[in-house]
Structure 1
Amino acid sequence: MRGEEPSPWQRTGLWAGMAMEALGEAGLHFDELNKLRVLDPEVAQNTTELKEECKDFVEKIGQFQKIVGGLIEIVDQLAKEAENEKMKAIGARNLLKSVAKQREAQQQQLQALIAEKKMQLERYRIEYDALSKVEAEQNEFIDQFILQK
């Protein structure tokens, strides 16, 4: 068989191999469906896999963004509620301060009124003592006047 000439089928296979090699050098390849492609089938497969991985990655990023968006909404809502509670607390504190100041002012007014009433009472006592003295003097005068008659 060594000296024999290759059969037409073998020559066709040889020619096809050389043609495939020439096409490969030119950057052209046949895929599994024997379609002529510009990319090597392995590179095309890797590209397809990368495309799918990118698609999955983009979907996961979208889901992540939705989750983060939800968290941001929750945090914003909590921040608003905290701010509202803070404002309520500030309002309550200011109200307590105001009530305390009003009580202090009212207490001062009442103390001033008590002092005024004490002074008035002292004046009335002095006036009472003076009038009692005048009454006693007048009663004594009347008694002396009656005794002299």
Structure 2
Amino acid sequence: MSGLHFDELWKVRLLDPDASARTQELKDECKNFTDKMDHFQKLVDGFIDVVNKLAKSVEEEKLLAIGSRNSLKSMEKHRESVQQQLGALIMEKRIQLERYRIEYESLLKAEAEQKDFINQLLRQS
């Protein structure tokens, strides 16, 4: 009644034993909660570290993939360029071949004419 209470060992207490027991229970629960939160924080920190390492690895692989893709595009463009150059060279060689064929036919015709002329001169003499 006066705010003084006796515990099980008959010691004088200012708090009601029930309130003291609930306070101790609450203290224990709070400690348990903070311990669980600390454990949870450690798990979260570990998870964040793993995710960060994975993100770094993914970023590196992404950069490698971009580099490979750019290299492939460059190779394709180079191949197309070489193909166009070879196509132009083939066309140039075909034109040259046609010119040589025409010149050859012209020379054969001139040779035939000269042989005829020589044969005519030989017959007249």
- Give how far 1:58 is off: 0.6
Alpha-carbon distance in structure 1 between the residues aligned to 2:113 and 2:63: 73
Alignment pair present for 1:41 and 2:44: no
Give the structure, 1 or 2, with the largest relative contact order (CA under 8 Å, sep 6 or more): 2
Alignment pair present for 1:107 and 2:83: yes
Alignment pair present for 1:71 and 2:38: no
Alpha-carbon distance in structure 2 between the residues aligned to 1:113 and 1:28: 113
Q: Which residue of the partner structure matches residue 50 of structure 1? A: 26
- Give how far 1:120 is off: 0.5
Query: Residues 87-146 of structure 1, C-alpha deviation per residue, up to 9 Å, x if partnerless?
Result: 222222222222221111111111111110011011111111111122122222222222
Alpha-carbon distance in structure 1 between the residues aligned to 2:19 and 2:47: 41
Name the SS for the 1:34 alignment partner.
coil
Aligned partner letter, 2:31: K
Alpha-carbon distance in structure 2 between the residues aligned to 1:106 and 1:50: 82
Alignment pair present for 1:84 and 2:60: yes
Alignment pair present for 1:124 and 2:100: yes
Name the SS for the 2:15 alignment partner.
coil
Instruction: Percent identity, please.
Output: 58
The number of aligned residues is: 125
- Give how far 1:61 is off: 0.7
Bigger CA drift: 112-121 or 96-105?
96-105
Aligned partner letter, 2:18: E
Aligned partner letter, 2:14: V
TM-score, structure 1 length as denominator?
0.74
Where does the alignment leave 5 or more consecutive residues of structure 1 unmatched? 1-23
Alpha-carbon distance in structure 1 between the residues aligned to 2:57 and 2:92: 52
TM-score, structure 2 length as denominator?
0.87
